[in-house]
Amino acid sequence: MVSQLNVRRTILIVEDEPINRKMLENIVKDSYDVIFATDGLKTIDVIRENSDVISLILLDLMMPDMDGYEVLEFMHNDKILKQIPVIVCTTERESEVRCFKLGAVDFISKPFSHPMVIRARIDRAIELREGRGLIHATQNDALTGLLTHDFFMEYSHFRDMHYATPGMDAIVFNVNRFHLINELQGRRAGDDVLIKIGDSIKHIARDRGGISGRGGADEFLLYIPSGSDYDELLKEIGRGLEDILNNSRVYLRMGIYRNVNTDISVEHRFDKARVACNSIRGNYNIQSAIYDEDMHDKEALNERLINDMARGIKERQFTVYYQPKYAIQGDRDSLYGAEALVRWEHPELGLLRPDKFVPLFEDNGLIHQLDHYVWDEVSKQVGEWMVNYDLKIPVSVNVSRVDIGAPNLEEEIFTTVQNNWISPGMLNLEITESAYTENSDQIINVVKSLRERGFAIEMDDFGTGYSSLNMITSLPIDILKLDMQFVKNIHEGNKDMKMVELMIDIARSLKVKVVAEGVETKEQYDLLKAAGCDVIQGFYFSMPCVPKEFEKLIEKENGELQREVEEALQ
């Protein structure tokens, strides 16, 4: 790139040994103009006088009068001079860290043995510095001043090429449920937290001779030589944020890929650190995790599932199970609807539960394709049952938070039911509560237009998403689905039972129905019935089952209805 620009640049060679001066000159003179300084004190003058033309300085560390460190220090403290890249020429590898801290961009070992390599490093340093000036705006994140994701990766790669420090750690930091800070304390507070973390990360990188960056919204990246005490690192980053981060919902997570394998790309090394970081998501007791064999296996499995998905859809390996919902406040418990739950009959891995692949597909956006497939399957099935049994059993499908972002989602789902000759009223849509708190404006709009099309909206996993009462009352929903974790622990008069009663009260005041899921025992059933819960789903009635099994439940319901009609006629 340097030569393409067709401008001859000037290199300052600072070196007191004539033989070394000559060697360096020979390495660069075909493309660069060269000026010299032979001792420390003169060097400063030469740099000052020529600062506007010097593209790079090759600096000897050992000189009479003033050594190279002092030159570096002098430049480092000058706003203009510190912009000039300096490559240090030295016999001592130990001096590297100190020079780095003083702003040196690279090192060349003496004696000079590989002219081609030296030349490439000189070209590259100039290239990088000049490219840097042009793209400075996007290179640094505006809020924290850290390197942005792509530049971070590039610089880490560059660092490896030039300073082959054995043993580097790739580390990812994430603020668990960061969005809550924005929501509860305002955006300013959120920004302050990010800036503080950014400052700490910068410090750590500088102290340890590494690189720091911002990976995304609340993700931070650190590439440092191995050997740090990880608990110390966490403490250092959380310092000053104890009030905000020592919370069971909002806290700092750290994933470490230790002693990286340099045969894989930098990007991939940080993927591994991220895998470790995500492995402790939602686990307040553990705040850091090191990438290990198990994670490696899991990662390999995930990769395989991602690869196999398209084929799975094509070959219809995904099947839909149906779990009935019963209305429990009438004279008898009557079949009210069902939830569609997907399973993967993988040809080699066997029957896979959704927790093996749904979160995975959510992470990489593939879920939308799968969900579309499920909506279509379910619409077909519902249409078939309506014809065969003359009974309206609305089925709920899960709409992932990721689907909400799809363009024309309402049109897509509407077309799906239309193509299968059923009305939108026969396909209910379950959306998890946390999706509302993460992206409230967008989701409210989407949900509104879905309701206008005639779909009923169920808020899934209610009680886990931390929506405020204020928010709930303004949400366009038809049904609240209490999360299983509350139902699981209810007993007469205990705390969870009180929570459940409270949620049922909220639903009543909003005039929406309440569904309790995960109901397994008679005790739970009785308590929920007494509390006024409308509908129940859970093993107490039935496990999710294949269509053939579910049809038996429909037939049973039809039998009951028949009997009721006959009784009424008698």
List of residues contacting ligand C2E (CB under 6 A): 323, 341-342, 353-355, 358, 367, 371, 374, 398, 400, 460-461, 517-520, 538-539, 544
Q: What is the smallest separation between the CB atom of 354 and ligand C2E, expressed in angstroms?
A: 3
CA–CA distance, 358 with 370 (Å, rounded to integer) = 9
536 binds, among ligand C2E, Ca ion, none (CB under 5 to 8 A by kind): none
Q: Mark residue 396 as left, alpha or beta (left: phi above 0; alpha: psi -120 to 50; beta: remaining).
A: beta
DSSP 8-state assignment for residue 226:
S
CB closer to ligand C2E, 218 vs 339: 339
Residue 279 makes CB contacts below 8 A (sequence gap 6+) with 255, 289, 295
What are 93's two structure tokens?
């590898």
170 binds, among Ca ion, ligand C2E, none (CB under 5 to 8 A by kind): none
Q: Residue with CB nearest Ca ion?
A: 430
Q: What's the count of helices (H) and strands (E) in the chain, helices before strands? A: 23, 19
421 binds, among Ca ion, ligand C2E, none (CB under 5 to 8 A by kind): none
CB closer to ligand C2E, 214 vs 481: 481
Nearest-CA neighbor of 455 among 418, 415, 427?
A: 427
Q: What is the smallest separation between the CB atom of 425 and ligand C2E, expressed in angstroms?
A: 20
55 binds, among ligand C2E, Ca ion, none (CB under 5 to 8 A by kind): none
CB closer to ligand C2E, 15 vs 433: 433
Q: What is the smallest separation between the CB atom of 369 and ligand C2E, expressed in angstroms?
A: 11
Q: What is the smallest separation between the CB atom of 158 and Ca ion, expressed in angstroms?
A: 47
Exposed e or buried b per residue across 448-485, where buried means at least 16 C-beta atoms within 10 angstroms of its C-beta: ebbbeeebbbbbbbbbbbbbeeebbeebebbbbbbbbe
354 binds, among ligand C2E, Ca ion, none (CB under 5 to 8 A by kind): ligand C2E
CB closer to Ca ion, 212 vs 398: 398
Q: What is the smallest separation between the CB atom of 466 and ligand C2E, expressed in angstroms?
A: 17
In order of 84, 161, 181, 392, the CA distances from 128 in angstroms are 11, 14, 38, 67
CB closer to ligand C2E, 103 vs 354: 354
Supply the DSSP string of 497-545, one letter for each residue. Answer: HHHHHHHHHHHHHHT-EEEEE---SHHHHHHHHHHT--EEESTTT---B
CB closer to ligand C2E, 198 vs 544: 544
CB closer to ligand C2E, 280 vs 397: 397
CA–CA distance, 43 with 58 (Å, rounded to integer) = 11
CB closer to ligand C2E, 198 vs 538: 538
Binding mask 499-538 for Ca ion (x = CB under 5 A): ----------------------------------------
Q: Is 430 in the site for Ca ion (CB under 5 A)?
A: yes
Q: What is the smallest separation between the CB atom of 459 and ligand C2E, expressed in angstroms?
A: 11
In three-state secondary structure terms, 98 is: helix
60 binds, among Ca ion, ligand C2E, none (CB under 5 to 8 A by kind): none
In three-state secondary structure terms, 565 is: helix
Supply the DSSP string of 341-407, one letter for each residue. Answer: EEEEEETTTEEE-HHHHHHHHHHTTTHHHHHHHHHHHHHHHHHHHHHHH-----EEEE--HHHHTST
The answer to whether the beta carbons of residues 337 and 279 sit under 8 Å apart is no
218 binds, among ligand C2E, Ca ion, none (CB under 5 to 8 A by kind): none
Contact range with Ca ion by CB under 5 A, out of 105-113, 383-391, 422-430, 544-552: 422-430
Q: What is the smallest separation between the CB atom of 340 and Ca ion, expressed in angstroms?
A: 9
CA–CA distance, 15 with 60 (Å, rounded to integer) = 5
DSSP 8-state assignment for residue 279:
T
The answer to whether the beta carbons of residues 406 and 443 sit under 8 Å apart is no
CB closer to ligand C2E, 355 vs 566: 355
Q: What is the smallest separation between the CB atom of 539 and ligand C2E, expressed in angstroms?
A: 4
CB closer to Ca ion, 141 vs 461: 461
Q: Chain-centre distance of CA 374, in angstroms?
A: 25
Q: What sign for the dihedral angle of Cα 520, 521, 522, 526?
A: negative
* Cβ neighbourhood burial of 496 (10 Å; 0-12, 13-18, 19+): middle
Cβ atoms within 10 Å of 560's Cβ, excluding its own: 14
557 binds, among Ca ion, ligand C2E, none (CB under 5 to 8 A by kind): none
Strands 168-176 and 251-257, sheet pairing: antiparallel
Q: What is the smallest separation between the CB atom of 482 and ligand C2E, expressed in angstroms?
A: 11
CB closer to ligand C2E, 8 vs 488: 488
Q: What is the smallest separation between the CB atom of 541 and ligand C2E, expressed in angstroms?
A: 9
- Mark out the alpha helices in 29-145 (DSSP H runs): 40-50, 68-76, 96-101, 115-139
478 binds, among ligand C2E, Ca ion, none (CB under 5 to 8 A by kind): none
Site residues (CB under 5 A) for Ca ion, limited to 452-481 = 460-461
CB closer to ligand C2E, 400 vs 428: 400
Q: What is the smallest separation between the CB atom of 214 and ligand C2E, expressed in angstroms?
A: 30
Site residues (CB under 5 A) for Ca ion, limited to 108-167 = none
Name the maximum alpha-carbon separation found in the chain: 119
Q: Which residues bind Ca ion (CB under 5 A)?
A: 398, 430, 460-461
